[in-house]
Amino acid sequence: MSETIQPKATIVIFGATGDLANRKLYPSIYRLYKSGKLDENFSVIGLARRGWNNDIIREKVEKSIQGLIPEDEDVSEFISHFYYKSFDVTSTDSYKDLKYMVESLEQDYHTDGNRLFYLAMAPDFFGTIANQLKNHGLKETSGWTRLVIEKPFGHDLASAKKLNKELQAAFDENQIYRIDHYLGKEMVQNIEVIRFANGIFEHLWNNRFINNIQVTSSETLGVEERAHYYDTSGATRDMIQNHMLQMVALLAMEPPINLSTEEIRSEKIKVLRALRTIKEEKVSEYFVRGQYGAGKINGQEVIGYQDEAEELKDSATETFVAGKLVIDNYRWAGVPFYIRTGKRMKEKSTKIVVEFKDIPMNLYYKKDDLRNPNLLVINIQPNEGITLHLNAKKTGNGNLTEPIQLAYHQDSESGINTPEAYEKLLYDSMLGDATNFTHWDEVALSWEFVDRILASWSNKKADFPNYESGSMGPKAANELLERDGFHWWPE
């Protein structure tokens, strides 16, 4: 069994007082530390505008990991690795002080000059920070330097290109790690393994044996405290441009030559290039948008999107998107990929359903409406696992059949502690493994695809709200599949 690699590093978090750092980054660093995936020689520098000090950030970190600490465990050694500096990202003096602080901690903790800069803040400052880090010598070190960036990466293709130009003026592409936290989820990473390690699936993974593939990511939550951000983003930018298209790329890619970052990315990029371009006047034939109104979630009355905040009144921002993707290549010609995502829906779930074609002459089903097709269901969250839907003989006399399920649930495995997506991605970024991060070419192709959809919608008035909270979206999303003779699974 191979020995776990324990990277040494100074981790610098821009936006250390924010929600992301508190909910995801601090707990992830603690889990890496506890699982032996982080060397004892590490330090974390938190940067933000607030007037905190070392004592305050350590107190905040301890509070953020409270639910992970075994009873009576002393975490004083762990939190002693955290430091804080009040910081203005536009100030030259701030970067001079940061350089001195980083170099001092590198001597104290013997981190071999390895530096991870994590930008957990508003994307407006990404370019500024990257160039200031370079200009003040923070990029130059005896070890490695990496820049981790949260989404959104731009607001459209033009702004993404501008941001990328700013970043690449300071850092090389192989130093830039664009986070898509869906790629850190265990079952998303399992898509490749399910396909390429099982002949039973990969031999059937084409247009001769598959009817359609569906990817659904639904939330029961509304916009909560993110009203301003969400109203400038919407479901298309928030979910389709990144998470949903990334999952489609993994499902549709060709087997790579090997499992290196470069080869896997190359195959994903080919899928995105093969996506059929949708002309603006044809968007309504392929995509449906929606916005939630009032309704019930788990028996509780909830308000509609436009009533969530004063600034959302009469908003035309979509909180739901369903679409039909067509991949024009040899493997997938004629197989629709359906995607849907939305807020305030019936259930919180992310799943992939692969519907296989029926056999040419099914002796056990005389009527089409009684047939139960074979399905492969990959549950990303919750209840991570895989379910294969088959048909078997019904107990008793006669030739009646019934659907059965062969299921594997990852969280039911004894001893498995599925790592959080951020924990996995943080570790990968310190190891220098960029496989589960998005390359610029993937970002650009995704924006190019969704920009046409957004442009079409911007020229048409939306009749919102058009679905009740607690439902699975507008009726038009069901009609999208019905036109092709399909329906969403499960019904």
Looking at the annotation, which residues are catalytic? 243
Amino acid at 33: Y
3-state DSSP call for residue 211?
strand
Task: Identify which of 352, 408, 343, 35 has the alpha carbon closest to the alpha carbon of residue 185.
Answer: 352
Phi-psi region of 229 (alpha: psi -120 to 50; beta: other; left: phi over 0): alpha
| Long-range contacts at 332-335 (CB < 8 A, ≥ 24 apart) | 332/206, 332/207, 332/252, 332/274, 333/207, 334/207, 335/207, 335/210, 335/211, 335/212, 335/213
Helix (H) or strand (E) holding 108, with range, is helix 92-109
CB burial class (10 A; 0-12, 13-18, 19+) of residue 172?
exposed
Residues in a beta bridge with 345: 471
Q: Are 8 and 432 in contact (CB under 8 A)?
A: no
Q: Are 475 and 305 in contact (CB under 8 A)?
A: no
CA distance 6 to 158: 39
The two structure tokens encoding residue 7: 């990277």
3-state DSSP call for residue 416?
coil
Helix (H) or strand (E) holding 446, with range, is helix 440-458
| Long-range contacts at 356-361 (CB < 8 A, ≥ 24 apart) | 356/204, 356/209, 356/210, 356/211, 357/208, 357/209, 357/210, 357/211
Angle CA 84–90–96, to nearest 5: 55
Task: Identify which of 135, 124, 149 has the alpha carbon closest to the alpha carbon of residue 94.
Answer: 135
CA distance 336 to 305: 31
Q: Buried (b) or exposed (e) across 335-350, using 16+ Cβ within 10 A?
A: bbbbbbbbbbbbeebb
Q: Are 412 and 146 in contact (CB under 8 A)?
A: no
Strand runs (DSSP E) across 160-231, as ranges? 176-178, 210-218
Q: Is the dihedral of CA 471, 474, 475, 478 positive or negative?
A: negative
